[in-house]
Amino acid sequence: MENESLIDQIKEKYDNLGENHETYLQGLLQAKPINYWEYVGVDTLLSLQNPRTNFKDEEIFIMYHQVTELVLKMMMHEVKQLVYEDLEESIWIDKLTRLNRYTSMLITSFDVMKSGMNYDDYNTFRATLTPASGFQSAQFRLIEIYCTSLPNLINEEGKSRLGESPTVEEYFEHIYWKDAGLNRKTGEKTLTLRQFEERYMDQFVALAYKMQGNTIEDKVKQMGAVSEELKKALKDFDHQYNVAWPMVHLTTAKHYLDKRGEEKAATGGSKWKKYLHPKFQQRKFFPDLLNQEEVDNWGEED
């Protein structure tokens, strides 16, 4: 009876699709059993490390950043559900708990960078990476656009340059991260920034237009009153992503670029000491949930 019931369910499924269920059953009969390495793509995944030098720890450096991009993709998976689906508050809390867990993974994983590579080797092979930079992570920027409105990605200096009723394109001209590769006095851009904009800017602008009034920040506002539990989850994510993670990144950069007082430049050419600090970036996903003291002290306690 159980087998008959299962067959009936399969038949109903494909009948609803307008398909012949027997065709699919015949296909299943011929299909090979799935295995772990094919399902996960292990062989492909492990072949994606292509060092440019013979320094052993360069492979660690590559894998670390690949892991980071995979974690960011997990975060995108949750963020898109919050943006595009109509979810109950309990599901929101679950999704934000996941986002906080993933961000915590990114924060603690910096120990791999800070303590997992030879200092002298890193400072030798890193020269071959120029002008590539972690600054060029598109997923990091996409998460920002999904999470919050563009004015929250403009620092105070940027806001002073904006005119009235800026367009999406104008916001991007003054977005905080452009300061990492743009000389505001001369208008000159680093190669790192030029390549990044050529590759991704059209995608960023298109998504920003799509997200107008539809970001996670907007959806929270549309909820009206939210529970303290949800409010805390949102604020925790905001702080972890926009304060704690940049600060541990800054600490790691200091370990390799400034440990011996050598004032090394970042591979992307940014003034990294200033750019990486949350007091300079000033991005906040959910500023309406913060009191004035929290806004004034953003990044100060870390």
pLDDT (tens digit per residue) in 3-22: 568 889 999 999 999 999 99
- Return d(Cα 101, Cα 120) in angstroms, integer: 33
The tally of CA atoms less than 13 A away on the side-chain side of residue 15 is 6
For residue 7, tell me if it sits in a domain. no
- Return d(Cα 211, Cα 66) in angstroms, integer: 27
DSSP 21-74: HHHHHHHHHHPPPP-HHHHHTHHHHTT----SSS-THHHHHHHHHHHHHHHHHH
Residue 247's domain comprises 57-296
Four-CA torsion 118, 120, 124, 126, nearest 10 degrees = 50
For residue 36, tell me if it sits in a domain. no
Q: Are 107 and 245 in contact (CB under 8 A)?
A: yes
For residue 78, tell me if it sits in a domain. yes
For residue 11, tell me if it sits in a domain. no
Interval 225-253 mean pLDDT: 94
pLDDT for residue 2 is more than 70:
no
Cis peptide bond prior to 166, omega within 30° of 0: no
Q: Are 21 and 13 in contact (CB under 8 A)?
A: yes
Average pLDDT value over all residues in the chain: 92
Residue 55, sorted as left (phi over 0), alpha (psi -120 to 50) or beta, turns out to be: beta
Q: Are 55 and 48 in contact (CB under 8 A)?
A: no
For residue 43, tell me if it sits in a domain. no
- Return d(Cα 70, Cα 64) in angstroms, integer: 10
271 pLDDT tier (thresholds 50, 70, 90): low
> What does R_g of the chain's alpha carbons equal in angstroms?
23
3-state SS, 32-46, equals CCCCHHHHHCHHHHC
Q: Are 49 and 42 in contact (CB under 8 A)?
A: no
Give tens-digit pLDDT for 24-74.
999 999 999 999 999 999 999 999 999 999 999 999 999 999 999 999 999
The CA-based angle 282-284-289, given to 5 degrees, is: 135
Q: Which of 148-152, 170-174, 208-212, 266-270 has the lowest mean pLDDT?
A: 266-270
Interval 209-232 mean pLDDT: 96
Q: What is the pTM of this model?
A: 0.91
Residue 175: both structure tokens together: 């977005």
266: DSSP letter:
P
Which amino acid belongs to residue 223? M
Interval 292-299 mean pLDDT: 90
For residue 29, tell me if it sits in a domain. no
269 pLDDT tier (thresholds 50, 70, 90): low
Q: Are 251 and 114 in contact (CB under 8 A)?
A: yes
- Position 273 scores a pLDDT of 73
Give tens-digit pLDDT for 128-137.
999 999 999 9
Interval 172-185 mean pLDDT: 94
Please count the structural domains in the chain. Answer: 1
Give the number of other Cβ atoms within 10 Å of residue 149's Cβ. Answer: 20
Which residue do the tokens 């996409």 mark? 142
CATH of the domain at 249: 1.20.58
Give tens-digit pLDDT for 51-65.
999 999 999 999 999
- Position 1 scores a pLDDT of 46
For residue 139, tell me if it sits in a domain. yes
For residue 28, tell me if it sits in a domain. no
